[in-house]
Each structure stands twice: as structure tokens, then as C-alpha cells.
Amino acid sequence: MSELILSSVKEFVKREIEPLAEKVDREDYYPRELVKRMGELGYLSPLYEGLTLYDTVNIIEEIAKVSGSVALIQDAQGELVTEPIRMFGNKEQKEILDKLAKGELIGGFGLSEPCCGSDAGSIMTKAERVKDSWVINGRKMWTTQGLYADIFLIVARTGDPKLKEKTLTVFLVPRNKCITTRKIEVMGNRGTGTAEVELNDCEVGEENIVGELNGGWRVVKYALLVGRIAISAIAIGLSICAIEEAIQWSKQRELFDSKLIEKQGIQWYLAKSVANLYSIKSMIREISKYPLDKLFEIEGKISALKFVSSNVAENIIDTALQIMGGLGYAKGSKVERAFRDVRLTRIGEGTDEVQLSIINKVLMRHGIDKILNE
């Protein structure tokens, strides 16, 4: 990322996101105008704007340093909705794509269901052909921005359930009377409009298919691969924010006639956190420099990144909270908010267990050299 772009992102984050961060969390406030502003400046869907994946993770990291919620909104809009349409969409979807990238339309990614989260191949939402249209029925869970979305990327079954992933198709479904949304109260990442989405006889045309009929699993997998890199960047940004607040606090805190930061135990806490941060920053820097069309080939490496970054970040933030003691546990501190926000990074875009299963699959199929040297 050029110094000019990075400087502009940092300035925008400080000027427009940081002042809203506490309000977003405290009031469960969805920052609609901020989303549109991010779109206008190209920060909402950087890949659509021609920036690289490396640029994208740096933008997300800077946002997450001040607001995990806004970073998650960016991930949902940019990587989970806009990016798969950009990669697999048709000419008829170009206008919608542009409006999503600019923040003029809000998008929601509908994959998980009450029956099935990690086992995406078992989803029950159905799309049935009726003359020249498709009629969709089903329920989706945990849809970020679902409460506010103008259009949904819905994964539905278009064939025999026994064939699992081979009969999934992705549809663009505009919000209308056939869609009902219900708010889901979540522990962290508040203000993101997390919702259950119910579809009742939603009719869409053939032109609303993203990718190919029964070829939806490739679209979903691509969205998740990009999303896992993005959510790793969120984890890194949150942990940097937490450790910075802990450092500032320990420099001010008096304890037994000296500053807290002068205690060797605290110094080791901080040093260990920075060492771990360096390791996951190195991982994401390497992976984010791969071309987008090569991501399918490094699935194991991406899963390793997500698993390690989310767990390391959670540990770093827990350490920062321990350093700050009661202040870190209290509402109003950045560490407290980050502590709640980071927990999602071990669940969203595939749980820890899913990532370990993917790593093991690659290991059993290709051996350890494939993972370490791909």
C-alpha cells in the first residue's frame, strides 16, 4: 500500500470512524451515512476499486483499531457480498455491484441457517424453478447487516439434497415483502444489524443467479476465503488497539512506588504480545500478496492464518485486559469492547474447528510440505 493511501485511511479513520465507535457499540447504532462515506472514498470495497488484497487488509486493520463493528460491516459489504459478485456476477448485475461498492445499497450474505452453520452443504433453503423464474423459501441466521440490507446474496439448494454442495446456487434477492428480518442480540460487534432472515416465496429471475446454476459452492468458497483473510485483519487491528491502550495505562499507573510498566512481569506480557503480533502480521502480509485467482490453491494456508490470528488476538486482548485490571473490565475502555468483538473472529467465516478440519484435509491429501511451502 502506498504511503499516500495509508495516510489517507488513517486520517479518515481518526476523523470519521473513531468519534462514532463508542456510540455504535453503546447504542447498537448502525452508521448508515458512514458506510456511504466509506463507499465514496473507496474503503468499503477496495478490491472493486482496483486496490490489491494487501491494500484491503491494511484498510481493514486500520478500521478495526478503532471499531471492530465498522470493520465487520466493511467485511460483510466488501468481501462477502460485493467481491463474489465482482468475481462471478453477470453484466445485468453490474449496476447493483457499483451501488454496493459505493454504499448506496447495503448487502447481506445469507449462508448459515438454524440447522446448519459449519455444515453449509446441508442447508435447507430451497429455490424452485417456476416457469422462467426461481421461487426461494428458507431461513438464514447470523446475517451481518441483515436488518438494514437492501439486497441479499442468498445461497439456496436447486437440486437433490443428497448431492450437498453440488446443488447449491447463489441468488441476488432484493428486499421486498417476501423477506422478514428479526434482530439477533449479540455480545460484541454491536451496531452491525445482525439478523435472522426469512424468505417466503421470493421470486427472482434467471439473471439474478451469481455464477452458474448448481455452481454456487465455488462462489461461497471464494467469498469465505477472502472473508477469512479479512477477518484475520480485524483480529490483528483489535489486538493492536488493545495492547496500545494497555501500554498507555501501564505508563501512567503507579504501583508500589513505581510505574506499572517498570515491572518485569508487565514488560514480558507486552513483549510476548508484540512477538505474537509480529508473527500473525507476517502471515497475513505473505498471504495477502497472492493473486485472487490463486486463493483456492492456498486454502490450507488461509485456514491456518485465520485459526492462528483469531486465537493469538484473543490471547493478546485478554493480556491487555489483565494489565489494565478493573479499568479494562469496565465499560468505556477500548480493551473491554475489543474483548467482546474479537471473540467473533473464532466463529465468523468458519469456526476454529472448521479451519482445523480444512488444514487436516490438506495435510492428509498432500502432506506437510504442501501446507508449509505452497
pLDDT in tens, 61-112: 999 999 999 999 999 999 999 999 999 999 989 899 999 999 999 999 999 9
CA 17 – CA 24 distance, rounded (Å): 10
pLDDT for the residue numbered 371 = 72
pLDDT in tens, 259-292: 999 999 999 999 999 999 999 999 999 999 999 9
CA 297 – CA 316 distance, rounded (Å): 30
191: left (phi over 0), alpha (psi -120 to 50) or beta: left
Rounded to two decimals, what is the model's pTM?
A: 0.96
- Confidence check: pLDDT of 309 > 70: yes
pLDDT in tens, 120-162: 889 999 999 999 999 999 999 999 999 999 999 999 999 998 9
pLDDT for the residue numbered 118 = 83
Question: What domains can you pick out in the chain, each with its CATH number?
Answer: 3-102 (1.10.540.10), 107-214 (2.40.110.10), 217-366 (1.20.140.10)
What does the DSSP 8-state code read for residue 198? Answer: E
Residue 357: partners with Cβ closer than 8 Å, 6 or more residues away: none
Contact 123, 111 (CB under 8 A): yes
CA 187 from chain centre, in angstroms, equals 16
User: What percent of the chain stands above pLDDT 90?
Assistant: 90
- Confidence check: pLDDT of 1 > 70: no
Beta-carbon neighbour count of residue 122 at 10 Å?
14
- Confidence check: pLDDT of 359 > 80: yes
